[in-house]
Amino acid sequence: MILVLGDSLSAEYGLKRGEGWVPLLEKRLAQQKIPAAVVNASISGDTSSGGRARFASLLAQHKPSHVVVELGANDALRGLPLQNTEENLLQITKAAQAAGAKVLIVGIQVPPNYGGDYTRRFEAVFGKVASTTKAALVPFLLKGVADAPDALALFQADRIHPTAAAQPQLLDNVWPELRKLLAAK
> Residues with catalytic annotation?
8, 158, 161
Q: Are 38 and 25 in contact (CB under 8 A)?
A: yes
Contacts of 114 (CB under 8 A, 6+ apart): 76, 122
135: left (phi over 0), alpha (psi -120 to 50) or beta: beta
Which of 102, 95, 27 minimizes the C-alpha distance to 58? 95
In terms of Cβ atoms closer than 10 Å to its own Cβ (0-12, 13-18, 19+), residue 82 is middle
Q: Whole-angstrom Cα distance, residue 40 to residue 33?
A: 20
Q: Is residue 133 within 8 Å of 90, Cβ to Cβ?
A: yes
